Amino acid sequence: MRAPPASLLVVVLALAAVPNAVSKSTLESCASATACPALLSYTLYADLKLSELAALFAADPLAILASNAIDFAAPDPADHILPAGLPLRVPAPCACSDGIRKVTAARYVARAGDTLASVAGTVYAGLTTPDWIRDSNGLPEDAALDAGTTLFVPLHCACFGGADGGVPAVYLTYVVAQGDTVPAIARRFRTTGNDLMSVNDLATADVAAGDIIVVPLPACASSFPAFTSDAGLAVANGTYAITANRCVQCSCGPGNLDLFCVPAPLADSTCSSMQCSNSNMMLGNFTLQMTSAGCSVTSCSYGGYMNGTILTTLTTSLKPQCPGPHQFPPLMPPPTSSFFEAYLGPSPVPMPSEGGIGPQVAGMAPTSSPPVSSSPPPAHRLVWALFALSLVANLLW
Ligand SMILES: *[C@@H]1O[C@H](CO)[C@@H](O)[C@H](O)[C@H]1NC(C)=O
Ligand SMILES: *[C@@H]1O[C@H](CO)[C@@H](O)[C@H](O)[C@H]1NC(C)=O
Ligand SMILES: *[C@@H]1O[C@H](CO)[C@@H](O)[C@H](O)[C@H]1NC(C)=O
């Protein structure tokens, strides 16, 4: 629970397409120009290639997969066709423009038959409004939309300081669907109705289809220096992010909310060194040493991306107990049908066998000091296949 933030204002926008309908939406006022990572809850309106979906939001196709904990190791997933009705989370930088938090990167090239209402309501699934697009593009009232016109499409998002009640959070923009209730939305995203009402400054739990709310998702925060290009990176629990020009993957959860970054599966020779200086350790490697005071953990971790250089830091900390091998959030194969509810939740339910790629294991098992060779992870063949894959990727690099 948090007190209603002073910076929060709820505005009422009239929907041009439906003159009598009035939708609520949560808008966050802002002063800082710094963008934060945000997520948009989006249901595909048609079968779309991953590349087409990515183009709608000016997003990296791999980043979309990573944000949904869908296997992003396959080469060239951009041609993969995603089915209509598939609910996905789309990552987008939430910028500050005209004093309001919004996604400012999205552009849409109008096609024959498009109207502002269809672009806002169908293509962008209600994450924006026809009036907002019209105003943002300086279009006159009742202007026809010419095919080929490039529209700037503002989308709702929120940052709220990257936290909710003191816990690091990424905010997901969610368009209320027919039949949704606050408790149901809260359950779906594993939060509470009270928290949703507080975050969105809702006086009552009444929401209607088309309302735009934001949902805080627990996340792993980074602490990269401000001069890095991925400063402020935050990854929602149970998911991944791709950063450093696709050279590094970072994940969050499932066991804790500590950001964990390793070389990305497709990292190649164009990536700068991912080895910590003065050591033979790579990003994500750690060593454990039992001492009389506890377990001394030395880890090589990611420190942000600067000018094509991957920053690494070697840190040693004392823990009461040695941690086990690192558990990664489970990855799912690319979807071919829209049946799975699992994608709706904040973090996918682990899928133990068939199709699902089980938890990966990395780092080192807690062996006695000084551990130099990795001990075999207790896992099934899929994990080994993945292991081999990432090993190959790393060798290539
Ligand atoms: C993160 O996700 C895991 C598994 O999905 C869950 O068990 C855990 O409670 C979550 N952590 C937080 C802080 O929400
Ligand atoms: C990045 O590189 C450019 C040109 O090589 C240089 O001018 C700039 O100062 C560098 N930035 C940082 C933060 O090092
Ligand atoms: C160190 O990290 C690299 C890159 O992720 C990995 O391939 C390797 O297996 C790790 N080494 C150990 C000993 O865990």
229-282 confidence digits (pLDDT tens): 999 999 999 999 999 999 999 999 999 999 999 999 989 999 999 999 989 999
Q: In this structure, which residue's CA is closest to atom 3 in ligand 1? A: 254
* CA distance linking residue 183 with residue 159, whole number of Å: 22
8-state DSSP, 102 = E
The type of residue at 326 is H
Q: In this structure, which residue's CA is closest to atom 11 in ligand 3? A: 285
262 contacts 341 by C-beta, under 8 angstroms: no
Dig out the tokens for 249 from the structure. 């993957």
Structure confidence at residue 144 (pLDDT): 84
Q: Is the pLDDT of residue 363 over 50?
A: no
Q: Is the pLDDT of residue 51 over 70?
A: yes
8-state DSSP, 175 = E
- Rounded to an integer, the average pLDDT of 370-389 is 37
Q: Cα of 388 to ligand 1 centre, how many Å?
A: 28
Structure confidence at residue 313 (pLDDT): 96
Dig out the tokens for 389 from the structure. 């894959």
136 contacts 152 by C-beta, under 8 angstroms: yes
Say if strands 36-43 and 87-97 run parallel, antiparallel, or are unpaired: antiparallel
Q: Cα of 394 to ligand 3 centre, how many Å?
A: 9
Residue 355, sorted as left (phi over 0), alpha (psi -120 to 50) or beta, turns out to be left
Q: For 184-193, 305-314, 344-353, which range has the lowest pLDDT when averaged over its residues? A: 344-353
Structure confidence at residue 74 (pLDDT): 81
| Residue 244: exposure state from Cβ atoms within 10 A (0-12, 13-18, ≥19) | buried
Indicate if ligand 2 lies below 6 Å from the C-beta of 226. Answer: no
Q: In this structure, which residue's CA is closest to atom 13 in ligand 3? A: 374
Mean model confidence pLDDT for the chain: 83
Point out the ligand nearest to the CA of residue 229. 2
Q: Is the pLDDT of residue 385 over 90?
A: no
Q: Cα of 361 to ligand 3 centre, how many Å?
A: 10
Structure confidence at residue 382 (pLDDT): 38
116-145 confidence digits (pLDDT tens): 999 999 999 999 999 999 999 999 988 789
Structure confidence at residue 326 (pLDDT): 93
What predicted TM-score, i.e. pTM, was given to this entire model? 0.81
Dig out the tokens for 232 from the structure. 């402020």
Residues in the chain: 397
User: Which of 274, 390, 394 most suits a substitution to test ligand 3, by most atoms within 8 Å of the C-beta?
Assistant: 394
Structure confidence at residue 218 (pLDDT): 97
- Rounded to an integer, the average pLDDT of 59-76 is 92
Q: Cα of 364 to ligand 3 centre, how many Å?
A: 8
Provide the terminal-to-terminal Cα distance of the chain, rounded to the nearest Å: 46
- Give the CA count within 13 Å in the CB-facing half-sphere of 321: 3
Structure confidence at residue 22 (pLDDT): 67
Q: Which ligand 3 atom minimizes the distance to the CA of 364? A: 14
